[in-house]
A = this chain, B = another copy of it.
Amino acid sequence: MNNFQFQNPTKLIFGKGQIAKLVEEIPLNKKILITFGGGSVKQNGVYDQVKKALKNHNCIEFWGIEPNPTVETLRKAITLGKENQIDFLLAVGGGSVLDGTKLISAGILNENEAWDIVRNPKLLGECVVYGSVLTLPATGSEMNRGAVISNMVTHEKFAFYSTYPTFSILDPETTFSLPEFQVAVGIADTFVHVMEQYLTTPNQSPLMDRWAEGILQTLVEISPKIRKNQHDYDQMSNFMLCATMALNGFISMGVSQDWATHMIGHEITALHNTTHGQSLVIVLPALMSVLAKQKQEKILQYGTRVWNITTGSTEEKIQKTIAQTETFFRSLGLATKLSELNISQDTIDEIVSRFETRGTMLGENQNVSADVVKEILELAK
């Protein structure tokens, strides 16, 4: 096991009717900016629950944080926050609203330009405290420091790291009215988050392996039930808990991490505005094939424990495991090839050229070069 440090101070408030707890979590003397995406929270009753809980608080609202939140939009919220001397932020929505709110939190008390804060960790200064009411399980942003921000001018998308949410309220009932596609990409995103922390170096921590597999096994078990009935409270609770646990540090103690699938997926999203989870499931099976030798031992373990693939030669078991992974993604109604989304060779060439220019090497062994990225994307055509 590698040496590690772990700390995650976020308070999770989970279950039916818990949005009302907002009143206990935010002091009355705070000047709150509530951040939203589009208007779905007005249809599903979440907006009303939030306003009711905070009826005696001093709140203003910022609407319009988009999927793959852009620095262009967030700059406006930062200006609003500065003008109104906001000292508490409340994100109400999915991972994009949360990610965007992390940059707003970092920007309000900071004199630097917002995109510079994203690109240069040294510019992160004091951040405004924030909490969240999560309505879309997927990114894990409700219990981590990470955010991914897009730039519309440069067509770039980068991660940055800020502070943890003080609290996150997760009421599974808020997910009942999500579009089926959003639930599918949420499950896919959760699945790939786990794979990035799991499908790496073997024998680093049997416990972290079991916990990662536990999330994957649960997702495999609940997904058909959720596809059948999205109003099943228990199954949506299970999904919501899986999504949060998949990216809060609980399964990455003492083990190496990959994240090449995400880095490549971000580029697809940056160039085509493809939904994040959809990008990932196109990249992952191809990446597993290209890196099958390096990841052999872990792919076999994953195949055995998650998919019960125990017969055949090593080669056959690996093939079956990758095929089964792709089949699972397709069972969610997602595309697993670039061509299905009309993404052409031009995009592949542009992505490879970006990695060449940056010279960054990806993956747990830092050996996924631009050439390997090309191989992966060619296989994903």
Contact = CB atoms under 8 A, between A and B. Distances in A.
Interface of A: 1-18, 172, 203, 205-207, 210-211, 213-215, 217-218, 221-222, 234, 237-238, 241-242, 245, 250, 253-254
A241 B207 contact: yes
A237 B4 CA distance: 11
A34 to B, nearest CB: 22
List the 10 closest pairs (A to B, CB-CB), nearest first.
Answer: A3-B15, A210-B214, A7-B11, A1-B237, A6-B12, A9-B9, A207-B218, A206-B218, A4-B14, A211-B214
Contacts of A5: 11-14
Nearest to A15: B3
Contacts of A254: 14-15, 237, 241
Contacts of A172: 1
A11 B205 CA distance: 19
27 contacts: A1-B15, A1-B172, A2-B15, A3-B14, A3-B15, A3-B17, A5-B13, A5-B14, A6-B11, A6-B14, A7-B11, A12-B253, A15-B254, A203-B234, A205-B238, A206-B222, A207-B215, A207-B218, A207-B238, A207-B241, A210-B210, A210-B211, A210-B215, A211-B211, A237-B254, A241-B254, A250-B250
A4 B15 contact: yes
Nearest to A1: B237
Contact of A7 (B10, B234, B241, B250): B10
B2 A241 contact: no
Interface centre among A17, A203, A207 (most CB of B within 10 A): A207
Contacts of A222: 206
Contacts of A217: 206, 210
B214 A1 contact: no
Contact of A206 (B2, B15, B16, B221): B221
A101 B238 CA distance: 37
Given A5-B12, A207-B245, 13 more contacts: A1-B14, A1-B172, A2-B15, A4-B14, A6-B11, A9-B9, A14-B254, A205-B237, A207-B241, A210-B213, A211-B211, A241-B254, A250-B250
Contacts of A237: 1, 205, 254
Contacts of A16: 3
Nearest to A21: B5
Contacts of A245: 207
A8 B6 contact: no
